[in-house]
Amino acid sequence: MATKDLRGIILVLLLFVSTNSIVECLNYDVHWLEGTTTIEREAPSANKQKVDIYCFPGTSKNILALFQTVKFHVRTKSDEFSQYVGSNPEEVYKDYTEDSYGWSSVISPFQRKAQKSLYLDLFTPTCMALNTKQRHSIELQVIRVDIWRVLLMVLGLVIIHSSKSLSGNKVFFYLCGIFIGVFASFMVIVYYVSKLLPRKTLTYGILIGGWTVGVYVFQQVWENLRTIIASYQTYMFWYTLVVSFVSFLVCYRIGPPRNERSKNIVMWTLQGVGMMTVFFSSDYREASSAVIVVSLTVKHFPQSLVRIVRGYWLRKFPPKRRLLTNEEYYEEGARETKKALEDLRKHCASPDCAQWSIMLKLHDSRRFASFVEGNSHLSDEEILDYESYAFSMDSARKRGPASSANGSGLEISDDDEISDDEL
């Protein structure tokens, strides 16, 4: 009898759990979005019971997702809406129902801050639901190649490879000094403002409300600071200008680093900044880490090892040399000869050449002067002899090797060559 009662209790519990699951599934609609999609919704009516949950399933890790950006964009006339984000529809619906009963404001008040543009993780599913009484639209925006991510990675790589030269650059030193001076001045103002706050009251509030209260207070302070900057832009401009000028004077008085160890510290710091920039330029952390490793390997790889590897490769696999044809040989010979004569003419006309000493050693100084002035280095008789010689050689080549064996072919002798003294 006891066994039958136990089975009945178990069946009732299973039926209760399954009924609740079915009811929850019936209380919300899940819209799975892939690619750039826009869904428009009218203002919810009073008899609407279901909650619309929009989900992005995530993408697989591949090289095409290196510079990809995905975000939910909410379009409404005002900011009066609540936003619920989770990794699955059940979690989002749970947060939605808890907020409807008023529990969310007690547990985590800062989660009420809604964002019209919500950036998503590429590789994990993300769901979102809205609670609003206005007409709105939900857009899943997929940017295949985000130009800002590309520029961020390129900037990081440039910083890594230019860290050594930037560490001794004066302009870069002054720019960094001005930026640090302006940023540090804001930090000093924040420090002295925090001195005016009641420490005990704030500490007790954080202890009672938990860390969520601290985050909520920080967000409120940040929002107020943004409002102050937007309202007093003229004062902020002059404040930044004055602090920048003072920072420039301090940097000018100190001067750029001259010690080699100081330059090394600046170089290592820049490399660290460049690596962090490359790492956070993509959601594909494994790929961005691989880019950092390859970049550091290329930068610090010894050039001597590169030359050794290249020499070994050329010895083991020498490149195939292509022989020149007769036409290419004559064309290259004419081109190189013309270039060499032009270089010789320029040298003889330059002040570095002792023209008078050369003319004393020549038999025909007028011919040398004519060559330097731009005339041909050959006389008319020499050109005629060369043309007749070339014609004879062409005729002998057409008659074949037999005529050459009988002695009818012409041979080049030393007497046919033009001596240097005749030039």
pLDDT tens-digit map of 93-127? 888 887 655 444 433 444 445 567 888 888 888 89
Q: How far apart are alpha carbons 83 and 69 in whole angstroms?
A: 20
Q: How far apart are alpha carbons 111 and 103 in whole angstroms?
A: 12
pLDDT tens-digit map of 351-373? 888 877 887 888 777 888 888 88
- Domain assignment present for 316: no
Greater pLDDT, 331 or 22: 331
CATH number of the domain to which 82 belongs: 2.60.120
119: helix, coil or strand? strand
Closest-CA residue to 40 (of 118, 142, 139): 139
Question: Quick one: 137 and 40 in the same domain?
Answer: yes
Q: Which pLDDT does position 94 carry in this prediction?
A: 84
Question: Quick one: 71 and 13 in the same domain?
Answer: yes
Phi, psi of 408 (to 5 degrees): -75, -20
Q: Taking 80 as the threshold, does the pLDDT of residue 23 lie above it?
A: no
Q: Which domain holds residue 238?
A: 149-304
- Domain assignment present for 331: no
Residue 17 CA from chain centroid, whole number? 52
Q: Pick the last residue of a domain from 244, 274, 304.
A: 304
Question: Is-contact 71 131, C-beta < 8 A?
Answer: no
Q: Between 199-209 and 211-231, two packed helices, what is the crossing angle to 10 degrees?
A: 130
Element (H, E) at 85: strand 82-86
Question: Quick one: 40 and 117 in the same domain?
Answer: yes
Element (H, E) at 20: helix 2-26
Q: Pick the last residue of a domain from 93, 123, 145.
A: 145
Radius of gyration of the chain (CA): 42
Q: Which pLDDT does position 211 carry in this prediction?
A: 52
Q: Taking all residues of the chain, what is their mean pLDDT, rounded to a whole number?
A: 76
Question: Quick one: 202 and 60 in the same domain?
Answer: no
Total domains in the fold of the chain: 2
Question: Is-contact 28 84, C-beta < 8 A?
Answer: no
Give 2's pLDDT tier (boundaries 50, 70, 90).
low
pLDDT tens-digit map of 297-319? 888 777 777 788 888 888 888 88
Name the pTM for this structure: 0.55
